[in-house]
């Protein structure tokens, strides 16, 4: 009898009918109406709003521990722990979308480890295949008890090449040494960005994120700057919500790559600011 899922504003969960419906972003809804029923949107990182949205129809929370498309916005520890507590209190599931923030991206194997919680369901993709198309849904035995033979299938599910790619990635990333290097490199990259953006207060406001999932908050719309960096300086970044410049480098970068990035970013900011003045 429980069919409602509480999701959070500015989230991105994918482009199936269900995951489009799970997001409150109208730009994604265009052309796909009517949406699927059963989703309720509340403000991200607002625990009181999340609890207020709970009814006897609530089946789960669905949340990104760090919103990617929404602007590289990490949830607070109080929020994530609070969602876990509420799900336990009211007897429903906590589902995490770690497609962007999982597989060592934050310096933890999965971002929920940074918050000291365990989800009931976890979606993982992107990094898990190291560039090869691969996604997986993890669940506790209790949460998965309805997923019996015949309830779900996929044409390419479990294909041997994808499984081999996933195993190869896991052999590299699932160890303390690799994760520690991601954390250290992330700290160096963040420090370099923070030092740099002080030179352009009219362009940048700050940095947020964890590990090698960082966002530079801009004072203006970020998409044109992304295009400028790509077209004029050969630097690939990506725009995100809340006027954010998303920085998602390979997890194996070293100091030389950070230096090259800052050099190109600095050159791009200089002529971009000059053109705007």
Q: What are the pLDDT digits (tens) for 181-202?
A: 999 999 999 999 999 999 999 9
What does pTM read for this prediction? 0.95
Residue corresponding to tokens 């923030």: 101
Cα–Cα dist 139/215, whole Å: 29
Comparing CA positions, the residue from 207, 203, 192, 194 lying closest to residue 246 is 207
Q: Is 89 exposed, middle or buried (0-12, 13-18, 19+ CB in 10 A)?
A: exposed
139 membership: H or E segment, kind and range: strand 135-139
Cα–Cα dist 239/226, whole Å: 6
Would you say 265 and 196 are in contact if contact means Cβ atoms under 8 Å apart? yes
Comparing CA positions, the residue from 13, 8, 4 lying closest to residue 137 is 13
Residue corresponding to tokens 């919103």: 67
* Beta bridge partner(s), residue 60: 5, 93
Q: Could you tell me the two tokens for 188? A: 């160096």
Q: Could you tell me the two tokens for 152? A: 């779900």
Residues, the chain: 277
User: How many CB atoms are closer than 10 A to CB 226?
Assistant: 20
Q: Is 113 exposed, middle or buried (0-12, 13-18, 19+ CB in 10 A)?
A: middle
The 10s digit of each residue's pLDDT in 13-65 is 999 999 999 999 888 999 999 999 999 999 999 999 999 999 999 999 999 99
Q: For the chain, which domains are there?
A: 4-173 (3.40.640.10), 180-276 (3.90.1150.10)
Residues with a catalytic annotation lie at 12, 97, 126
Q: Could you tell me the two tokens for 183? A: 């954390």
Backbone angles phi, psi at 213, to 5 degrees: -120, 90
Would you say 44 and 67 are in contact if contact means Cβ atoms under 8 Å apart? yes
pLDDT in tens, the chain (277 residues): 999 999 999 999 999 999 999 999 888 999 999 999 999 999 999 999 999 999 999 999 999 999 999 999 999 999 999 999 999 999 999 999 999 999 999 999 999 999 999 999 999 999 999 999 999 999 999 999 988 888 888 888 889 999 999 999 999 999 999 999 999 999 999 999 999 999 999 999 999 999 999 999 999 999 999 999 999 999 999 999 999 999 999 999 999 999 999 999 999 999 998 887 7
């Amino acid at each position: 009898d429980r069919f409602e899922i509480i999701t959070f504003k500015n989230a991105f969960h994918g482009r199936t009918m269900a995951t489009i419906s799970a997001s409150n972003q109208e730009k994604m809804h265009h052309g796909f109406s009517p949406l699927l029923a059963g989703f309720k949107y509340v403000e991200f990182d607002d625990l009181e709003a999340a609890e207020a949205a709970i009814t006897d129809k609530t089946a789960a929370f669905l949340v990104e521990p760090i919103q990617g498309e929404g602007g590289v916005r990490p949830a607070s520890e109080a929020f994530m722990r609070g969602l876990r507590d509420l799900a336990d209190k009211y007897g429903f599931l906590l589902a995490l979308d770690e497609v962007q923030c999982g597989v060592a991206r934050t310096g933890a194997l999965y971002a929920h480890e940074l918050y000291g919680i365990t989800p009931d369901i976890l979606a993982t993709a992107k990094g898990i295949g190291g560039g090869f198309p691969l996604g997986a849904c993890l669940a506790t035995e209790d949460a998965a008890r309805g997923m019996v033979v015949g309830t779900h299938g996929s044409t390419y599910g479990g294909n041997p090449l994808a499984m081999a790619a996933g195993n190869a990635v896991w052999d590299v990333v699932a160890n303390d040494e690799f994760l520690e290097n991601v954390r250290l490199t992330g700290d160096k990259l963040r420090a370099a960005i923070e030092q740099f953006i002080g030179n352009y207060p009219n362009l940048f406001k700050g940095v947020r994120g964890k590990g090698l999932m960082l966002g530079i908050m801009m004072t203006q719309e970020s998409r044109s700057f992304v295009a400028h960096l790509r077209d004029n300086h050969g630097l690939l970044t990506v725009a995100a919500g809340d006027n954010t410049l998303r920085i998602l480098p390979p997890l194996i970068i070293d100091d030389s790559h950070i230096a090259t990035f800052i050099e190109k970013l600095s050159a791009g900011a200089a002529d971009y600011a000059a053109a705007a003045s």
